Amino acid sequence: MKKLKIGNDYQQIRIVQQLNKPMSMPKNHITEPHAINRWPAWLDITQGVTGLALVLFMWVHMLMVSSILLGNDVFYFVARMFEGQYIFGRPYPLLVSFFAAAIFVIFSVHALVAIRHIPNSYREYRAIWQHSRSLQHADTTLWLIQVITGLLLMFFASVHLYGVFTHPGDIGPYASSDRIVSGVMWPLYLVLLFAVELHAGIGIYRLALKWGWPSGKNPRQMRRILSRAKWAISIFFIVLGLLTLSAYIKIGIEHREHAGERYLPAALQSLQHTPSEPRPEN
Amino acid sequence: MQLTESTPAPRSLRIHVLRHNPQDPQSHPHMQTFNIEEADGMTLFIALNEIRETQDPALQFDFVCRAGICGSCGMLINGRPGLACRTLTKDLDADIYLAPLPLFELIGDLSVDTGKWMRGMSERLETWIHTQQDEPDLDALEARMEPELAQNIYELERCIECGCCIAACGTARMREEFVGAVGLNKIARFRLDPRDARSDAAFYELIGNENGVFGCMSLLGCEDICPKDLPLSTQLAFIRRKMAFIH
């Protein structure tokens, strides 16, 4: 019960009258705001744009990394391509560092704006957990998976990006495999694989629903199609990732005795000692 | 009616109800089980009435229309929000768990004060027609409206404010200030109404924040639970686009 401060009888009568009088009519005329604060809108747009950019990047990244399945030479070609070898005539690993730094910036911005929505107290965690268990609703459960995978990515992806940023030249059939096996990075990549592909698949599905693109004539049917597509894409990339990781582990185990030695395609072996080659290949 | 050999015996339902009277200091929340025999076409509303009439007249739950129109009988049915009058017992297991809708003020047992919440939300979002004049001209003829537009407004106006979308909303469960699908749907409704002269900037002032449209995380429990099948997903996305790219 709200406690009233009453100074004298008149005041008491006035308050009682106010409490009992019929509700005053709400204002129905317009008061246009002078200036609106667009920050909440910008944050929401930024979350979507950075998320979309990261999803597209991760899918391309997975396809490029999985080129190892087509053979060591193919992945060697891909790695040199991103170092600008076929544009500048020689590899510049610094390009990879720049790229990793750019991705890290986008990744950080996405994490910073997305963190607004995740539970930030024990009460909120308990509320969403109980709600999810009680409701048994697929999209609510998927959101919790997004929260968990997002938190995992904040730590695990940062380690990976830092590694790529500081050692941009260590990407190649042997260098990558040695890092995974002899450098014992495979557990990190295994966690990253599931976290990224689940987060990306669910994220792009939610992004589409959030902004209503594509809507179509029957939005509910479109949602079902998007949901199936989300699972298909996530499963495709997880299977591709597991095959790819297995291929690197196999190479890493076979190459364990020579860890640190770089891969050189047969076509380039004759040039191995040519003075014009400034650095050994990976 | 005589039971023939081919007629299956009616099920015995065990209805577990979360009981609590917040007005009574001695009361503590607990589950109470009622056994009743299922009848043809029995809804939870019928079952609860039978319990109240035959077993416990003190059982509190709300109902008015019995036809999914008033939105009074919203409750958690096996953990999911729904209307008791629209839920057939034959669609549920023999053990049925009922609890009051969360987030709303508990009156007692299954009865909650959704009206208080809805009133607060309506005042915050000013869910009424706003005009250019201070006083409406009561003698003027109302402007004509295309039937298609009237139909579109009516489609959103079908909301019965049962509170199920709020109870099904993960955001609202975490952040109680969130206006929920019912509030955002109302903004969509008034934005559509040509009699409401508010601009998008005026609507942005009301919902352009994280307790409004930008707090919605599109978990879509609201759409999947809504007893009136309102197109909440498309409306939330539409309002988000309008508010995000406001001119």
A131-174 per-position pLDDT tens digit: 999 999 999 999 999 999 999 999 999 999 999 999 999 999 99
Q: Which domain holds residue B178?
A: 126-246
pLDDT at B233: 94
pLDDT at A277: 45
- Has residue A5 got a pLDDT over 50? no
pLDDT at A237: 98
Could you report the per-residue pLDDT of A74-100, keeping only the tens digit for each? 999 999 999 999 999 999 999 999 999
Judge whether B74 lies within some domain: yes
CA-based nearest residue in chain A for residue B211: A40
Domain identity same for B130 and B242:
yes
pLDDT at A19: 52
Please identify which residue in the block is written with the tokens 């004049």: B133
CA-based nearest residue in chain B for residue A202: B219
Domain identity same for B106 and B168:
no
Which domain CATH number covers B152?
Answer: 1.10.1060.10
For chain B, how many structural domains are there in total? Answer: 2
Instruction: Tell me phi and psi for residue A30, to 5 degrees.
Output: -90, 135
Rg over CA atoms, chain B? 21
Domain identity same for B104 and B25:
yes
Residue A231: name the closest of A142, A118, A137, A110 by CA. Answer: A142
**Last residue in a domain, options B77, B112, B147:** B112
**Last residue in a domain, options B52, B82, B112:** B112
Best A38, A140, A202, A225 residue to mutate vs chain B (most B CBs within 10 Å): A140
Domain identity same for B77 and B184:
no
Could you report the per-residue pLDDT of B106-130, keeping only the tens digit for each? 999 999 999 999 999 999 999 999 9
Q: How confident is the model at residue A185 (pLDDT cuts 50, 70, 90)?
A: very high
Domain identity same for B73 and B176:
no
Question: Average pLDDT, stretch B43-57?
Answer: 97
Which of A132-141, B38-47, B69-78, B136-145 has the least mean pLDDT? Answer: B136-145
pLDDT at A4: 41
pLDDT at B114: 96
How far are the Cα atoms of A53, A62, A103, A104, A107 from residue A57, in angstroms, in the given order?
A: 6, 9, 9, 12, 11
Q: Are B72 and B45 in contact (CB under 8 A)?
A: no
Domain identity same for B61 and B93:
yes
Q: Are B118 and B96 in contact (CB under 8 A)?
A: no
- Has residue B137 got a pLDDT over 90? no
* Distance to chain A for B229, nearest Cα, Å: 11
Percentage above 90 pLDDT, chain B: 88
Q: Mapping DSSP to helix (H, G, I), strand (E, B) and coil, where does residue B36 land?
A: strand
Domain identity same for B158 and B106:
no
CA-based nearest residue in chain B for residue A204: B218
Judge whether B167 lies within some domain: yes
ipTM of the complex: 0.91
Best A1, A25, A28, A217 residue to mutate vs chain B (most B CBs within 10 Å): A28
Domain identity same for B83 and B135:
no
| Chain A residue numbers touching B120 (CB-CB < 8 A) | none
Instruction: Tell me phi and psi for residue A230, to 5 degrees.
Output: -60, -45
**Last residue in a domain, options B87, B112, B137:** B112
Domain identity same for B167 and B238:
yes
CB contact under 8 A, B174 and A128: yes
Domain identity same for B87 and B161:
no
| Chain A residue numbers touching B171 (CB-CB < 8 A) | 117
Selected residue with higher pLDDT from A12 and A214: A214
Judge whether B30 lies within some domain: yes
Judge whether B3 lies within some domain: no
Domain identity same for B57 and B164:
no
Q: pTM (2 decimals)?
A: 0.87
pLDDT at A204: 96
Selected residue with higher pLDDT from A10 and B227: B227
Q: What is the mean pLDDT of chain B?
A: 94
pLDDT at A10: 47
Angle at A41 between CA A36 and CA A44, to 5 degrees: 165
Domain identity same for B101 and B191:
no
| Chain B residue numbers touching A29 (CB-CB < 8 A) | 130-134
Best A1, A44, A213 residue to mutate vs chain B (most B CBs within 10 Å): A44
Which domain CATH number covers B20?
Answer: 3.10.20.30
Task: Measure CB to CB from residue B240 to each of A31, A43, A210 and give the nearest one.
Answer: A210
